[in-house]
A and B are shown apart, each in its own frame.
Chain A
Amino acid sequence: MNHFAFSLQNVVDANGVIISVMGMLIVFSALTVIALFIAALPKLLPLFDKILPEEHHHHEAVPSRPADHEQVLAAIGYALFRKHAETLPAE
């Protein structure tokens, strides 16, 4: 670096403006193409489904069944009732 050699000529010599405009345009184009792809993705999904139909495999989390919840809740409720009954003075 030339210490404190402030000059617009430095920018001109290094093609600073051209590099900056080009850089911004490339960043914008890359992200615009990505944005367009994202916007089109929901419409492309049925196409993907035809080529690679969705499969449910062992890695997916197994959804819990409502029946399980009911049984667990009943068990917890019964245990709490027993504990509560034990601590109450005998009437």
Chain B
Amino acid sequence: MNYFLNFLSTTAFATMAWENLLMIVIGIVFITLAIRKDYEPLLLVPIGFGMIVGNIPSVAGMALSVYDEGSVLSMIYFGVSQGLFPPLIFLGIGAMTDFSTMLSNPKLVLLGAAAQVGIFLTFIGALYLGFNPAESGAIGIIGGADGPTAIFLSAKLAPHLLGSIAIAAYSYMALVPVIQPPIMKLLTTREERLIRMKAPRTVSQREKIIFPIVGFLIACLIAPGAIVLVGMLFFGNLLKESCVTERLANTARNAMIDIVTILLGFSVGASTQAQTFLTPQSLLIFGLGALSFCIATAGGVLFAKFMNLFLKDKINPLVGAAGVSAVPDSARVVQMVGMKEDPQNFLLMHAMAPNVAGVLGSAIAAGILWSVLVL
């Protein structure tokens, strides 16, 4: 009988707190959003299920959770906490990215830079709210709209906020189709949304091969802190474009990125134990994250309008919203909003240029914040 009573005291029913239940419900909401609404299912399903797993209370003396030394989950989480998974995801992204649209219209690269204003204004906002500089840098990077970059930087600068930052970054990435359109419409006139852009030129294979090498050298000589993320991004792209490592490129963009996404999503979800996640800090992080997304979107759109003051061939300012690096979702949103005004205006190709430039910009911004705030 004693054994049975002992066993009963170890069941999760006995130790479950209402906070854990709330997190389990949030996990189920994530899974529901992914399945019913198709919001970033590849991320929200692993994260949502990870949240459910991570909020089953641990049994004393048993290494079960991501925070218990020696547990299986902690070994998987090692890839997150040490910043191993994000560069591997960047390798896969590089192997699936086609820089042609960016190479054919280089001025659109600047929109990818302008959208990074969200990162730095949020950094100031987080400082104002009382976060320390390292924490503020990690929170600010949510505005880059790039999950792997956010995880990488928070693992380096503020590991204790990693769960909240990762969940905020991925949630807002999933909500790009909801967050961006109102801002885009608010900041543009109908005439601007109707602007048709010139078709991009054909880019030679030689340009595509040279670009990842020189692009890496330029970016990392200016901001060496970006070596890991930008290096893996361009390495993956070189595997794709060189035409001689097709097998490696295929593995990087298919099997490898899928495996890493599963491990990363699941372990980040499992790290959101209510006791560490449900804090006033997390609420502030979510608020700042939403704000940074809005600022980043507005930054891109407004900079496109500013560039139009000087350009003969006008840019459709909607394209600026794709400067936040949620690839390819923000580019798809640009296409969707543009087509609502003119069903024959295809902006997707043009939007991919600031979109991939945004990935580059946020990785560079992460490198800068890392090198400035860690020293």
Q: Which residues of A contact B294 (CB under 8 A)?
A: none
Of B102, B106, B204, most buried by chain A (CB within 10 Å of CB) is B106
Q: Which residue of A lies closest to B244 (CB)?
A: A59
Segment of B9-17, B82-90, B208-216 in the binding face:
B208-216
Q: List 20 A-B contacts (CB under 8 A).
A: A1-B130, A6-B128, A7-B130, A8-B128, A10-B128, A11-B127, A11-B128, A14-B136, A16-B136, A20-B124, A22-B368, A23-B365, A28-B113, A31-B364, A32-B110, A32-B113, A34-B219, A37-B218, A41-B207, A45-B206
The 0/1 profile, CB within 8 Å of B marked 1, for residues 6-29 of chain A is 111011001011011111101111
Cβ–Cβ < 8 Å partners of B132 in chain A: 1, 14
Interface residues of B (CB under 8 A from A): 102-103, 106-107, 109-110, 112-114, 116-117, 119-121, 123-124, 127-133, 135-136, 204, 206-207, 210-211, 214-215, 218-219, 222-223, 243-244, 280-281, 357, 360-361, 364-365, 368-369, 372-373
A contacts with B, residue count (CB < 8 A): 40
**Assuming the A-B contacts A26-B364, A34-B360, A60-B243, are A41 and B103 also in contact, with contact meaning beta carbons closer than 8 angstroms in the complex?**
yes
B222 contacts A16, C-beta separation under 8 Å: no
User: In the assembled complex, how far is the CB of residue A22 from the closest CB belonging to chain B, in whole angstroms?
Assistant: 8
Instruction: Give every chain B residue within 8 A of A29 (Cβ-Cβ).
Output: 222
Q: Closest CB-CB distance, A52 to chain B, in whole Å?
A: 9
- Contacting pair B130 A31 (CB below 8 A): no
Residue of chain B at shortest CB distance from A19:
B372
In whole Å, how far is A18's beta carbon from the nearest beta carbon of chain B? 10
Q: Check if A20 sits within 8 Å of B123, measured CB to CB.
A: yes
Separation of A11 and B204 alpha carbons in the complex (Å): 48
Give the most central of B119, B127, B204, B222: most A CB within 10 Å. B127
B116 touches A24 (CB 8 A): yes
Contacting pair A33 B207 (CB below 8 A): no
Inter-chain CA distance A60–B243, complex, in Å, is 7
CA–CA, A17 to B124, complex, Å?
7
B239 → chain A closest CB, angstroms: 13
Task: Name the A residues within 8 Å of B280 (CB-CB).
Answer: 3-4
Assembled-state Cα–Cα distance A83/B298 (Å): 63
Closest approach, in angstroms, between the C-beta of A2 and any C-beta of chain B? 4
Query: Which chain B positions have C-beta within 8 A of A60?
Result: 243
- Please indicate the chain B residues that have their CB under 8 angstroms from the CB of A16 in the complex: 123-124, 127-128, 133, 136
CA–CA, A29 and B280, complex, Å = 37
